[in-house]
Structure 1
Amino acid sequence: MPVKYTQAIRGSFFDITATVEHPDQLPQQARYIADGLLLIDGGRIVSLQPWEAGRGQLTDDHQLMDYRGKLIVPGFVDCHIHYPQTEMIGAFGEQLLEWLQQYTFPVESQYHCPQHAEKMSAFFLHQLLSNGTTTALVFGTVHPQSVDALFSAAEQLEMRLIAGKVMMDRNAPEYLTESAAQSYQQTRTLIERWHHRGRLSYAITPRFAPTSSPELLNAVRKLKQEFPDCWLHTHLSENPQEVAWVKSLFPENSSYLDVYHHYQLTGRRSVFAHCLHLEEQEWDCLHHTDSSIAFCPTSNLFLGSGLFNVKKSWDKRVKIGVGTDVGAGTTFNILQTLGEAYKVAQLQGYKLAACEAFYHATLGGAQALDLDDCIGNFNAGKEADFVVLDPAVSALQQLRQGNCRDIWEQLFVLMTLGDDRNIAATWVNGKSVWQRADQEKAA
């Protein structure tokens, strides 16, 4: 007897079916179905199979979403982004520490206002969805209302989002600092309010070691002990001057990462953004503690911070995902971010294949966030988050895609020539939440 599903999606599909320990294993785990049928029930994937094999399961009156001519991939995972910095993206002329003082801190001061936070949360989430990002690990500001606004907006969309308020008690303007006790209490209240509410999760978020006193780091450790299934989200070894500053502030610790490790902040759900200037023992510590790295190529290039070593992350068996790092990052678009990642790798003699790049942006990113059991591919039982890509939205793309020999070349062209125009639709939890056609009609 035919089974009726909530949604049925027809189109071309690409995903990676299992996590890997070496990039050479990726082609064996890749799945491409040129004409496929995705069945969804209650926001979860029932099956993905070739159209001819699955069409008999549909009822005659079932409404089918036909995306033939499009490529459907799992929703993009952004492993590091600052939503309050959306309004200062593209700020000129500074490297990290000066950039924070001149641009970042003044902008973040506005988020004491709930109305401003609400307005920017809506804008931020629209940017994510219109660029195909369905899951993100997000920095708020020091203000609790910044996180309340973001979570409230994401809850309405049923997005899988991890976020947290910044914790910061020194080496920042007075209007953005707090006491360690205040930071602990406000964070604890937010965790109790939002963690595991629907598809929302909380990340304990000390900005970075220079703005964290030992008292604050002890408060972070206490929160991690009290809420062990929360995430830990911070920055690590982004800029040479920053690394030297940390060593002067924490002379008793052997390295930048050792500061966090000393306070028991490494671990399976600990995500460290950047990691450009790691020492050998820091790589080893990340591996042994099962911590993760967010690779943020556009911001690393924009601020002149350095080049992330993708090959070494594989050699050291450290999980990585991709982060746009808006607003130091220069785009919300993961396709463009992957294109920059390819260039970063090229400068170091490493060939970042499209299969690997899309892995880092989907299942690999989900693994880095400890979410690969629920998102990242089209396996049965996974949450139905995906993005519909139009592979040829310009004359140049049409020409180049027409010359592609296989799916690998098509994906590579998408990540080198693609941008937000290639996002045709974004689906979250089995529902269409953004359609380019709707935006064009409204315009």
Structure 2
Amino acid sequence: MVSFHILQSYDPGEDILRRTHADAFTKMAVLNELSSLNLVTLRFHHDHPELATSMNINTKLTYLELIFYGTEEKISIYSLIPVLRVCTALRQLNVIIKGTKPEDNHITNTSNLLSMNEHESSTISPLKILDLQIWIQFDIRSLNSILRCVPSLEEFCVTVLNDNMNAPFMDLLINGHNWQRLLTSYMPNMKKFDFLMTFLIGDKSLDSTAILHSFNYFQRQYDSWHMAVSRWQILQEFASYLSFELLEIPQLFQNIYNSVFTHSNQNDSHEYVTNLSSLIDLSTVSTLEFKHTNNLTRSYVVPHVLLACVNVTELFMHTSLFFSSGFIDNSELLLAFDRITQLHLSSNHAYLSPKHGSKIVERFPSLTHIEMNVYSLDCSIPLVEIFVGGLKMLKHLAMRFSHEGLIDDAISRDHIIEKRRQLFGLNRNDEYKVIVKIEEHNTLYIWIL
């Protein structure tokens, strides 16, 4: 066996491993000198104390992903050093560092952050790629000890997320001169540097222009460097106002999956999109998903987001939001609708009438792939007729239903073939590609390839 992976939730409350089992997995996968494993993922919340005391050396492991989770008396940025010391063949290391009591982070002892495990900093590792997510108090100066151990590092991705970051630490992190000194001193082979920092800063005054200018070195040295600073007002009562996923986005932002906006004023929609655009080049987004919430005021901003993402071809939405008048009947979105080739509609198997199907055909003529939930198989029959007969480029249709109802012979392979032949000139040599079947008693699939 050369690969071993345990993938649990990123939420510590959903971990199901006992501590004894977590200890055992760490020892077996990382500290076993006779292990043949090359690739290991230990995605469970644990402080891995055995790594700090082990004298074993692992010369086989080249990829490791793990989470350090515990009180800040037990885990810190320096928890990486024993990993680098033990795993002498590592080429890629992905680490998440989380504290168990983030509300107490403000009392962390600064001197401990700067000196912990300093005696191990003589470790030298052949590591090439380091992806580091930090959810605890973090002093950028502590990276000196880490980067000194990895002189061959070529790619460094660092994410800092903390709601209660000490002001002195935050000031150091947002000063680009500190990053310049750090990377030029310890990363002579650097090819890629990605970072994201998110803080709750309250009423603290920040000079965004000064922050940007402090990173001028990177702008001058690297043609593809992009830097953005945004300050958003986040109110607790509107925390679920809008949450949507952006997929296939640039490397710098590939870990940003949820953007949360506040307020419900229609006039603020442009401002929301402007804020998002300062973080992400929306022209690179090809897949857009709007997650379902009970707050319908988010329908104000959804059209503006779709208009701003000019290259979106795949759309995920809840049925109620999709068929709201502010979206499906919005004439300003017709060009955006025409670009959509894949549509995914989710609901609790709602009833969709032929009128709904006709609107989809009229507004989205370029669709090749449709997935949706309907109440019953009976309800799907008129929709299938509309989609098969109205969408020339349709290739795949999947309709999930919660009740079988009275199954009608109208949904048959021969019927689909004849309809496509009459309306769109389906070639007889391509008829063998048409497939119609029901799987698991709850999903109708139609392929027209």
TM-score by length of 2: 0.35
TM-score by length of 1: 0.35
Q: Which has the higher contact order (CA 8 A, sep 6+)?
A: 1
**Higher Cα Rg, which structure:** 2
